[in-house]
């Protein structure tokens, strides 16, 4: 049986994997190891790839659990999510040690991620417990209406069914096994099958155990949660193509997301894939803003966590002129003082080398800060080009994942807004300006608004607040469906569908739609929001 933690990597005892993985795999079954992010060498015990037959059994168990879990009260779902948070916090020391070894991320960053993961689980617990997210709507009947009687219509959101979630490489906790996709799907009443990211299998196993313990302690149906391991694409495609899976949550590369979307659309019954894939997060500065922008904070936003954040500002629009020259030079100097960092996976490392080499070798790009790698670690880099050259070279607008930004110098706001309008969809777009300048920046602001899911004013896009108003989504290819968000309370809407009841007896309706409003929900009754009985 594969162990969940590499011996010799910290004072952590080896223990078994979650309950579903206790079966001894065949001796000839393939396995994989974690790869050290700096040395590139495999280390620790082998993790068996979950065989197709076991994936089939896990998905069928989830499908069997789906009707029962959909009927579980919001109070019990909330208790489940709170128990997951408590279990993760109880295992925090082990989880952080595992994640540090497998990802190269700092202890401070990972302990913060433990807190974020627990907080978002509790956020969704509160939403499930309160219950108004189902958007219950009731229209009174009117038998006397002419020319036809008006029926009694009542509708609400109901769970979709089994959700497949893909762990992310850059967030081993907050966007992985018990991250936002899993938390929101469970809150919506959907069983979840997670494909662990192969870059951090031990971390995934520990968090998976926390979820399994919580499910048992809350007395939930077997199959409400499962975890599978794979070092490639087979398990993921098997999940997406399985007829019992009804939706997918994914955070990762554009190529990976597009492959899953294609597979989902080619099914006999297509399903939604909520994929967060690619974003370069443009930042526009006016000359007035350059004089007060904190260059150190900008450098930290570019290079924090090795630049491996989906909202990392990879594209900076800076005015031409001496003020802009000084700003770019100061930013390059600040980045040169940032310690070299580990990049998460060999794939990310290769893409970073290729992307920065393309910048350095481009005829219209100059290097501001471009140190070489050092003992397997990577330095932050900064490059510069003109607005005219950038507009003529679409390849310069492609995401390079890691601690690098491209400065684009402009001298005309009309030309700038035209170029901004040609960018692909983004998770974020940022404007640094004095408030009094905004009336003259309407075209720039409009262009940014059309391309992004979140607009930032005089700040930095890294750091995604988990709350009710946040939008962590954006037009394609930032996400596969720009109408959705993967962070915040609206995230659970992705894993639900509308269902209406017409002329049903009150006692046969779900409690959320009954006339007496026994759950005390905020509902829309004849077009007005109220908690009163009908």
Contact 504, 267 (CB under 8 A): no
Confidence at residue 375, expressed as pLDDT on a 0 to 100 scale: 85
Give the pLDDT of residue 4.
35
Instruction: Confirm if 60 and 244 have CB atoms less than 8 A apart.
Output: yes
Q: Are strands 366-369 and 381-386 parallel, antiparallel or unpaired?
A: antiparallel
Q: What is the pLDDT of residues 260-283, one digit of tens each?
A: 999 999 999 999 999 999 999 999
Residue 502, both tokens: 């017409």
- Sequence-distant (6+) residues with CB within 8 A of 28 are none
In sequence order, what DSSP letters do the residues of 210-259 get, joined into one string?
Answer: HHHHHHHHTTPPTTSEEEE--SSSHHHHHHHH-TTEEEEEEES-HHHHHH
What is the distance, to the nearest Å, from the Cα of residue 484 to the centroid of all Cα atoms in its chain?
11
Q: Which segments of the chain belong to CATH 3.40.605.10?
A: 49-140+148-277+486-492
Asked if residues 382 and 405 have their Cβ atoms less than 8 Å apart, the reply is yes
Residues in the chain with pLDDT values less than 50: 1-28
Question: Which CATH number applies to 282-457?
Answer: 3.40.309.10
Q: Which residues pair with 497 in a beta bridge?
A: 158
- C-alpha–C-alpha distance, residues 427 and 242, integer Å: 30
Residue 507 backbone phi and psi in degrees, to 5: -70, -15
The set of residues, in sequence order, having a beta carbon less than 8 Å from that of 93 and lying 6+ positions away, is: none
Number of H-type helices and E-type strands within the chain: 15, 19
Place of tokens 């208790």: 79
DSSP lists the bridge partners of residue 273 as 248
Helices of type H across 320-440: 322-336, 346-361, 387-392, 413-420
The half-sphere exposure of 349 on its side-chain side, counting CA atoms within 13 A, is 21
Q: Which two tokens stand for residue 135?
A: 């958007």
- C-alpha span between 389 and 118 (Å, rounded): 46
The whole-angstrom separation of Cα 173 and Cα 274 is 18
Q: Is 294 left (phi over 0), alpha (psi -120 to 50) or beta?
A: beta
DSSP state of 104: -
Cα angle 302, 306, 311; round to 5: 50
Sign of CA pseudo-dihedral 298, 303, 304, 307: positive
For the whole model, what pTM was predicted? 0.93
Can you spell out the DSSP letters for 177-208? TTSHHHHHHHHHT--EEEE--TT-HHHHHHHH
Q: What is the pLDDT at residue 268?
A: 97
Q: Which tokens go with 27?
A: 């001796």
The pLDDT value given to residue 372: 76
Q: CB-based contacts of 4: which residues, under 8 Å, 6+ apart?
A: 14, 15, 16, 17, 201, 202, 205, 206, 209
> What's the DSSP call for residue 10?
S
**pLDDT of amino acid 168:** 97
Q: What is the pLDDT of residue 249?
A: 98
Kindly give, in sequence order, each residue whose CB lies less than 8 Å from that of residue 407, ignoring residues fewer than 6 positions away.
316, 317, 318, 328, 331, 368, 382, 383, 384, 385
Task: Give Cα 41 distance to the centre of its chain.
Answer: 28
Exposure string (b/e) for 208-237, b if CB count within 10 Å is 16 or more? bbbbbbbbeebebbbbbbbbbbbbeeebbe
Residue 92, helix vs strand vs coil: helix
Q: What letter would DSSP give residue 61?
A: H
Report the catalytic residues. Answer: 276, 310
Instruction: Note whether 427 and 406 are within 8 A (CB).
Output: no
Ranges of CATH 3.40.309.10 domains, the chain:
282-457
Angle between helices 74-90 and 201-217 (to 10 degrees): 140
Residue with tokens 């402009």: 410
Q: Which fold has domain 49-140+148-277+486-492?
A: Aldehyde Dehydrogenase; Chain A, domain 1 (3.40.605)
Give the HSE-up count for residue 315: Cα atoms under 13 Å, Cβ half-sphere: 29
- pLDDT at position 73 is 97
Strand 162-166 relative to strand 192-195: parallel, antiparallel, unpaired?
A: parallel
Q: What share of the chain is helix, strand, coil (3-state, %, to 5)?
A: 40, 20, 40
Pinpoint the alpha helices (H) of 362-464: 387-392, 413-420, 442-451
pLDDT at 204: 98
Which run of H or of E encompasses 103? helix 92-103
Alpha-carbon distance of 494 to 489, in angstroms, equals 11
Q: How far is Cα 111 from Cα 174, in angstroms, rounded to an integer?
A: 11
Which pair of tokens denotes residue 236? 């993921």
């Amino acid at each position: 049986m594969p162990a969940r933690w590499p011996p010799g990597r910290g004072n952590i005892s080896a223990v078994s994997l979650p309950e579903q993985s206790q079966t001894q795999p065949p001796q000839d079954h393939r396995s994989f190891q974690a790869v050290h992010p700096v040395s590139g060498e495999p280390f620790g015990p082998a993790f068996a790839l979950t065989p197709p037959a076991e994936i089939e059994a896990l998905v069928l168990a989830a499908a069997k659990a789906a009707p029962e879990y959909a009927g579980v009260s919001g109070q019990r779902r909330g208790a489940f999510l709170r128990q997951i948070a408590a279990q993760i916090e109880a295992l925090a020391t082990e989880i952080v040690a595992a994640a540090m070894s497998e990802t190269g991320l700092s202890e401070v960053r990972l302990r913060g991620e433990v807190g974020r993961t627990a907080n978002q689980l509790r956020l969704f617990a509160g939403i499930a417990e309160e219950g108004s997210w189902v958007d219950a709507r009731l229209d009174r009947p009117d038998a006397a209406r002419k020319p036809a009687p008006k029926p009694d219509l009542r509708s609400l959101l109901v769970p979709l069914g089994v959700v497949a979630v893909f762990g992310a490489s850059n967030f081993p906790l907050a966007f992985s096994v018990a991250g936002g996709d899993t938390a929101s799907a469970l809150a919506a009443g959907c069983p979840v099958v997670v494909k662990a990211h192969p870059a951090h299998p031990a971390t995934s196993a520990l968090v998976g155990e926390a979820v399994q313990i919580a499910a048992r302690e809350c007395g939930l149906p077997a199959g409400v949660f499962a975890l599978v391991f794979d070092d490639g694409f087979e398990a993921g495609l098997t999940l997406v193509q399985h007829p019992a899976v009804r939706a997918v949550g994914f955070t990762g590369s554009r190529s990976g997301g597009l492959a899953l979307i294609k597979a989902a659309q080619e099914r006999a019954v297509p399903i939604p894939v909520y994929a967060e894939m690619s974003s370069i997060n443009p930042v526009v500065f006016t000359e007035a803003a350059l004089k007060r922008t904190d260059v150190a904070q900008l450098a930290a936003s570019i290079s924090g966590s090795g630049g491996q954040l989906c909202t990392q500002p990879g594209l900076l629009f800076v005015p031409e002129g001496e003020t802009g020259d000084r700003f770019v030079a100061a930013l390059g100097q600040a980045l040169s003082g940032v310690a070299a960092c580990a990049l998460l996976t060999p794939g990310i490392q290769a893409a970073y080398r290729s992307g920065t080499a393309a910048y350095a070798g481009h005829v219209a790009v100059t290097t501001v800060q471009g140190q070489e790698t050092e003992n397997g670690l990577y330095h932050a880099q900064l490059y510069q080009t003109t607005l005219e050259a950038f507009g003529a070279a679409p390849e310069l607008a492609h995401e390079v994942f890691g601690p690098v930004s491209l400065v684009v110098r402009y001298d005309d706001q009309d030309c700038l807004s035209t170029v901004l309008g040609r960018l692909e969809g983004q998770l974020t777009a940022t404007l640094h300006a004095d408030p009094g300048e905004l009336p003259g920046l309407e075209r720039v602001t409009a262009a940014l608004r059309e391309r992004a899911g979140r607009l930032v004013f005089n700040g930095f896009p890294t750091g995604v607040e988990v709350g009710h108003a946040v939008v962590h989504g954006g037009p394609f290819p930032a996400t596969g469906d720009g109408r959705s968000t993967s962070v915040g309370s609206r995230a659970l809407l992705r894993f639900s569908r509308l269902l209406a009841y017409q002329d049903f007896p009150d006692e046969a309706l779900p409690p959320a739609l009954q006339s007496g409003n026994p759950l005390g929900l905020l509902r829309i009754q004849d077009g007005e929001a109220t908690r009163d009985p009908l």
